[in-house]
Amino acid sequence: MEQDIYLFHQGNLRYSYQLLGSHKDTQHGIPGIRFAVWAPNAKQVSVVGMFNNWDGRQHPMKKWNKEGIWYAFIPGLETGMMYKYEILTAHGHLSLKSDPYAFSSEQRPHTASIIYPLDHYTWNDEEWLMQRKQRNIYESPMSIYELHLGSWKNIESEVFYTYREYAGRVIPYVKELGYTHIELLPLTEHPYDRSWGYQATGYYSVTSRYGTPDDFRYFVDQCHQSGIGVLLDWVPGHFCKDEHGLRKFDGETLYEYANPRKAEKSQWGTLTFDFARNEVQSFLISNAIYWLKEYHLDGLRVDAVASMLHLDFGKNDGEWEWNEYGGRENVEAVSFIKKMNEAIFEEVPNTLMMAEESTSWPLVSAPTYSGGLGFNYKWNMGWMNDMLEYMEIDPIYRKHHHHLLTFSLMYAFSENFVLPISHDEVVHGKKSLLNKMPGDYWQKFANLRVFLAYMYAHPGKKLLFMGGEFGQFDEWKDMEELDWKLLDYNSHASIFNYIKQLHQLYRDMPALWELDHKEDGFFWIDPHNNEQSIIAFARNSRSSNDQLVVVCNFTPEVYHHFKMGVPEQGFYKEIFTSDAEHFGGSGQTNGLLLETDPVPSHGQNQQITMTIPPLGVSFLKRTSVTKEAEHEK
């Protein structure tokens, strides 16, 4: 215990949730609950709850050490009882605070912490965890379905299913679509539904909106048993100012910076964690490990990393200060991020640590020993912004913006990238993914198909926010469920089927994922045809037999007898096209084998003559089957 206390104050206690908070204990043969809280500036701390009529005089805590850990043992308390800490500040003010380390909390709008030991759930995902240890995450397919539970489906507005009920609904749906992972918007306890979990108060409490901690464990367990990984959106950059939370926890700035220019995130109305403070480091690093260990999560998507790294993020002149070296970087945040990632990969190898980092900060997904931040993935925000800008342009004018299609390949292998089309891109007036697309009704769906096919052919792992998989017309409505009725219409059902088949292609073709992060996995055939808005490239796997040629047309023009360079002699077969009639396309397909001619074209030694579909993508694969054999078949 003394060693743990020492490590906590040194910023090196990776399991501080086992020291602090409320835990079952037995003292002098009597069972009860042990409480511990860090409040160095408090004059007095008491445990209050229904068990003592919220009377702070009944169970005062003792100060464990001069650094400010308070503790108490209360016999006879049981799982499910509510409590808070009553804190007498140095200024004589009494405040009631939720436990920063509580494992469960009251459902909003109530704010009490709940005693909830995490020792009585039996996991059944051993096979998944064993496979995870052996999996090469960089050379495996990864397609992530991002969802917000409360607005995926609900009973009615602000009335939700439980984690267990969501398991029975979400898992078969995601499995049918062919995704490899689910990514959940933040589930740490938060007071305001419309913050979507990004402004938390209970960092160790899975939100009670959908049930108990064991209910969420069941959800994760069932996902794993069904072969689906689970990622959680995690927010270490800032926290909300609600009175019962971390803000001025013991009457003084404690979890946040004392300097308001560093503490305030005015654009979000939140406070920044003090990354230089050792106890805050223990709190946050332990929290990441807690979610990975106690809930068997497969990884964390770390929110708003840019806001942690840059002192001037979202701020005007005069609202921030240069660091001690005269730079804009938050030096202690950089150090903390590296320390956090080192700890996580030591404690939970094969974890996915994904940074939402929106600037050109170098080596985000490189190891710390080579100068990187230590994540193993970074969201490719540059690709996302360029592609959405490009897709919203009328096809007539796309030839003037061709660089938006191709620029991402200039840096595609500088990081381990995820290509994200997330919730942030389909909310607050940005329109849904389908409704961003120009043209008439048919062209909107065709544009969506060509965009998604290019996304899955482009190097990098994939992420798509819920609703995009069936072409929701309205942007995300965070207080209502998805427009499931759209699946009754052929165009939307066709997009749903298209995503299923695109995932099947993606999983079956190692060229689309095996060398995602290596330059050997990609080469251009023709990146320069801006006049026709056509691009062509090849994707490679470790086996030359798996090579794919991908041809994309971003205009509604059909091109028959088009000469396209290819790398190998022989016959090419169109194994997938976004323009197939059963996807709602026009049916301009290449049904017969395409035989090469020994004519140099597009820098290749061979060429084929093919049909290029309107607003369509063709995936071509060299085959050993002859044209005669194909005809006989």
356 is a catalytic site residue: yes
CB environment 228-253: b (16+ within 10 A), e (fewer): bbbbbbbbbbbbbbbebbbbbbbbeb
- What angle is formed at CA 474 by the lines to CA 471 and CA 475, rounded to 5 degrees? 95
Determine the Cα–Cα distance for residues 361 and 373; give it in Å rounded to an integer. 9
- How would you class 382 by CB atoms within 10 Å of its CB: exposed for 0-12, middle for 13-18, buried for 19 or more? middle
| Cβ atoms 289, 133 nearer than 8 A | no
Determine the Cα–Cα distance for residues 491 and 496; give it in Å rounded to an integer. 9
| Cβ atoms 418, 138 nearer than 8 A | no
What length does the chain have? 633
Determine the Cα–Cα distance for residues 358 and 346; give it in Å rounded to an integer. 27
| Cβ atoms 160, 209 nearer than 8 A | yes
Determine the Cα–Cα distance for residues 355 and 375; give it in Å rounded to an integer. 7
Amino acid sitting at position 344: I
Extended strands (E) in 279-379: 299-302, 352-355, 377-379
Neighbours of 305 (CB within 10 A): 25
**Annotated active-site residue in 125, 264, 356, 357:** 356
DSSP state of 449: H
Q: 467: Cβ–Cβ under 8 A, 6 or more apart, which residues?
A: 426, 432, 433, 476, 482, 483
Neighbours of 227 (CB within 10 A): 12
Structure-token pair, residue 476: 């995300």
Q: How far is CA 589 from CA 81, 141, 580, 582, 594, in A?
A: 65, 27, 7, 12, 12
Determine the Cα–Cα distance for residues 376 and 366; give it in Å rounded to an integer. 7
- Return phi, psi of residue 370, to 5°: -110, 20
Neighbours of 418 (CB within 10 A): 26
Determine the Cα–Cα distance for residues 68 and 231; give it in Å rounded to an integer. 35
Using left for φ > 0, alpha for ψ between -120 and 50, and beta otherwise, residue 429 falls in left
568 is a catalytic site residue: no
**Annotated active-site residue in 86, 250, 303, 516:** 303
CA dihedral 25, 26, 27, 32 (to 10 degrees): 70
Active site residues: 303, 356
